[in-house]
Structure 1
């Protein structure tokens, strides 16, 4: 069975990680939920929740927990403690070869590392700033970005990295003026082509369950749901 948590941690790593009781606590350095949420390493008691919450708040972060597949008991404990569910996320995956059969149009997608200033500008326009770019820099395994152009103009970008034979796409952003032109599809296929050259036989990405457009796109490409997870945060911190 695929350890999706390990793939996410390796391809989108936290700034720091520490073990506190039955928890793995992450320092996100402003990089968002995925690099800031606590995860359980085994059975958790009700009193363990406050230990993790206090440690996260002491570090200047919200008390945020990721609930992964099979952690129904943890989910129930957090719900009973008043933690609110948010951001249900799907892990979509398929064989890399499924995405590489169709060609990518010429002069549309370019493999680039480190990212260009134009890519950084595109990410910034979508709210992906320095803290998330720092996450990309921290990745230790094979990684790259794909830079997309339409009408000879910068139009999109993404980040992709590999862990244990699985490529995971992150931070896909298309400029507002160039959406609905097929670029997201082309960039995803280009990322899969790069991954295939690196020997990754599986390709995956993360998308919130509420993002209907993205889920339709990825399902159409053949990326099926492999797993899902969600977060729970204290009510005053989940607004």
Structure 2
């Protein structure tokens, strides 16, 4: 997966409320939907002296200046560091072919895809801090999408959101109830996501996770998912 495709899939499957161009910058209005939908990115013509232009645009939206730094943005990274911006939430992207993930869950586990999300899904998300603003992001995604509810012994254990763009599915907002963690629920949901994605025309399942989340990264590696990209944020 190219960095350009990864960025496009992220943008289309977890979209901001709006995005607009200011000089060499893409400015995003996330309306509380998280860093990814609220961070500015640089076009190829950016210059150090244009950074205040991006800052003013974000502040005009009531946002603290935040920049998403991609693998090709080394010079921007250095420029922001010199202006006192700190690194926030380094992120790694993983992906795997859908057929490699699409095994059916083994009893007593089960999972099913549906849309719109059931009330129990929104309840599990809310308990994990994923509230109305992020649910609004899911509603904005325009392509094929679903919520996947995981169950163990007929009890709901976790949920995730999956959407597809250009044959690539991306999983977002994976949340497992505390009592069900480290018992295979996330593994179950990922397998179900791979199956749903394949059935709906995707060839690849992808996701992003913070570098610090070693438990999740170990899980993804154990499923044969490989690293396909990385990025981080700079915040003043």
Q: TM-score scaled by structure 1?
A: 0.95
Aligned Cα RMSD in Å?
Answer: 1.0
Q: C-alpha deviations, 1:41-73, integer Å up to 9, x for none? A: 213211111110111011101100000111111
Q: How does 1:1-239 map to 2 (within 5 A)?
A: 1=2, 2-100=4-102, 102-106=103-107, 108-234=110-236
User: Stretches of 4+ moved more than 6 A in 1?
Assistant: none
| 2:31 counterpart SS class | coil
Q: CA deviation at 1:204?
A: 0.3
When structure 1 is superposed on structure 2, of 36-45 and 223-232 the one drifting more is: 36-45
Q: CA deviation at 1:170?
A: 0.2
Q: CA deviation at 1:151?
A: 2.6
Q: CA deviation at 1:163?
A: 0.5
Q: C-alpha deviations, 1:103-141, integer Å up to 9, x for none? A: 312561011110011010000010000000000000100
Q: CA deviation at 1:154?
A: 1.4
Counterpart-to-counterpart distance in 2, 1:105 and 1:61:
45
Unpaired segments ≥5 residues, structure 2: none
Unpaired segments ≥5 residues, structure 1: 235-239
Counterpart-to-counterpart distance in 2, 1:89 and 1:122:
24
What residue in structure 2 maps to residue 237 of structure 1? none
Counterpart-to-counterpart distance in 1, 2:42 and 2:212:
25
Counterpart-to-counterpart distance in 2, 1:39 and 1:67:
7
Q: TM-score scaled by structure 2?
A: 0.96
Counterpart-to-counterpart distance in 2, 1:208 and 1:127:
16
Number of corresponding residues: 233
